[in-house]
């Protein structure tokens, strides 16, 4: 309109902390620090997270945001004091799509669960009485986390020195450049409760024949533990199980094929009703392929010998082969390995197992799980693994004010 002058608004300034957790990193917020409209689910919160990360980005580069243009780095987290009994904090996770307009809230990030415990202490969300020396001593702080996306409990054993989270140490995690302090995570009762109270295997079978239009038919283990995951044998889909990221991620035809398998699995697991729904549910389920042990060279150049591992696993996240392994998928691997007869268990040699060490593109990872049969149904009481976390930067993120309009 003639005579009107556009007056740009200043950017919003929101307290935030940038943290690496496991082989992922993301932007962490305290719920109380978010703008009022973003303290509840909805479009305003989604738009905020997208703008912070730099999505949707048609260049898939995240130049104008904090994201790193991979599924491992396109993440935001909200923590608050827990409203649930016997828990310290509530942890909500958003997986921000890189080049499309949505935020996926359907699952957890196991890697950032490590950082959730550390950040909870750092941000003053854990009562001093639960920290060694009433907030001034050294030892281990047991942080009880309620994972709000999936309604599960995670226990983080966070090292403390003089009342502060100890971040440096000599624990090495394949897929992470530098050593840090070890944080042990326990994923309690990680299997999906389902509508009927215990659908760890949604189809009722340890192995099904999965029919994938345009691809073929082959055995699959579909499990909801940690995160819904479709496991197939590497050999059945033409792979060795030793593949690295560049072997798959640079070929759109291969990625499209994996997406067809993922969609077929999602339909079979009852996670979606039509193939089109998968477009808005890219975070779950995961698709992974397994193989018996083989020697290979990891992406870092490290030699992984067949005798070093029980099996090999490669997994895709948000449409790309993960550079290491998602924490939640590691829970699914450990759980499936503990159940005799699954494809994961068979790839590891079969029989009863309480832990496996598997090879992934960046190296190896050990994960343990306690599984048992109750009234003919398999249940897992917990899965355990070690990760690390480190604050990379803290202060404020800035987003244009019109983001929330």
Round to whole Å and give the CA distance between 341 and 369.
15
Cβ burial, residue 307 (10 Å; 0-12/13-18/19+): exposed
| 96 φ, ψ (degrees, to nearest 5) | -90, 125
pLDDT in tens, 99-116: 999 999 999 999 999 999
pLDDT in tens, 52-74: 999 999 999 999 999 999 999 99
Residue 157 and residue 219 in one domain: no
Of the candidates 38, 76, 326, 385, the residue annotated as catalytic is 326
Q: Which residue has the tokens 């007056």?
A: 7
Residue 174 and residue 287 in one domain: no
Active site residue 188: no
Peptide bond just before 56 cis, omega within 30 deg: yes
Q: What is the pTM of this model?
A: 0.93
Residue 155 and residue 220 in one domain: no
Assigned domain for 193 exists:
no
Among 217, 199, 195, 197, residue whose Cα is nearest residue 208: 217
Of the candidates 109, 200, 318, 329, the residue annotated as catalytic is 109
Domain boundaries, position 90: 11-182+390-404
Assigned domain for 192 exists:
no
> If you count them, how many residues does the chain have?
405
What pLDDT was estimated at residue 197?
38
Q: Give the mean model confidence (pLDDT) for residues 241-258.
A: 97
Q: How far is residue 295 from each of residues 233, 261, 306, 307, measured CA to CA in Å?
A: 17, 27, 4, 8
Round to whole Å and give the CA distance between 78 and 115.
12
Residue 399 and residue 368 in one domain: no
Round to whole Å and give the CA distance between 385 and 343.
21
Asked if the model's pLDDT at residue 1 lies above 60, the reply is: no
Domain count, the chain: 2
pLDDT in tens, 323-357: 999 999 999 999 999 999 999 999 999 999 999 99
Round to whole Å and give the CA distance between 189 and 382.
5
Residue 375 confidence class, pLDDT cut points 50, 70, 90: confident
Residue 220 and residue 272 in one domain: yes
Active site residue 109: yes
What pLDDT was estimated at residue 196?
40
Based on DSSP, count helices (H) and strands (E) in the chain, helices before strands.
7, 21
Round to whole Å and give the CA distance between 311 and 344.
8
């Amino acid at each position: 309109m003639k005579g009107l002058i556009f007056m740009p608004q200043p950017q919003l300034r929101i307290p935030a902390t940038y943290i690496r957790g496991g082989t992922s990193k993301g932007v962490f917020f305290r719920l109380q620090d978010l703008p009022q409209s973003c303290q509840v689910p909805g479009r305003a919160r989604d738009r905020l997270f997208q703008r912070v990360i730099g999505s949707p980005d048609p260049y898939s580069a995240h130049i104008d945001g904090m994201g790193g243009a991979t599924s491992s780095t396109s993440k935001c987290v909200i923590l608050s004091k827990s409203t649930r009994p016997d828990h310290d904090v509530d942890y909500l996770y958003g997986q921000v799509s890189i080049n499309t307009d949505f935020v996926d809230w359907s699952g957890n990030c196991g890697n950032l669960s490590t950082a959730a415990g550390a950040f909870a202490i750092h941000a003053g969300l854990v009562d001093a009485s639960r920290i060694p020396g009433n907030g001034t001593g050294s030892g281990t702080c047991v942080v009880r986390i309620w994972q709000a996306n999936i309604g599960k409990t995670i226990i983080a054993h966070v090292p403390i020195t003089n009342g502060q989270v100890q971040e440096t140490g000599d624990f090495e995690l394949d897929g992470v450049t530098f050593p840090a302090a070890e944080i042990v995570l326990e994923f309690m009762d990680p299997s999906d409760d389902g509508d009927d109270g215990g659908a760890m295997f949604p189809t009722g079978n340890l192995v099904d024949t999965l029919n994938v239009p345009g691809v073929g038919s082959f055995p699959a283990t579909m499990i909801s533990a940690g995160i819904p995951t479709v496991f197939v044998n590497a050999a059945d889909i033409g792979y060795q199980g030793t593949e690295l990221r560049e072997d798959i991620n640079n070929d759109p035809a291969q990625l499209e094929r994996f997406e067809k398998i993922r969609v077929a699995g999602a339909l079979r697991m009852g996670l979606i009703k039509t193939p089109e729904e998968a477009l808005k549910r890219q975070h779950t389920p995961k698709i992974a392929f397994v193989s018996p042990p083989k020697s290979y060279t990891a992406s870092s150049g490290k030699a992984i010998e067949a005798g070093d591992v029980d099996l090999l696993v490669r997994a895709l996240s948000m449409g790309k082969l993960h550079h290491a392994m998602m924490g939640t998928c590691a829970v699914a691997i450990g759980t499936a390995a503990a159940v005799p007869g699954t494809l994961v268990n068979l790839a590891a040699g079969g029989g009863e197992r309480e832990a496996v060490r598997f090879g992934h593109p960046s190296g190896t990872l050990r994960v343990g799980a306690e599984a048992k049969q109750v009234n003919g149904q398999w249940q897992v009481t917990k899965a355990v693994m070690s990760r690390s976390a480190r604050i990379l930067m803290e202060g404020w993120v800035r987003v244009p004010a019109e983001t929330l309009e």
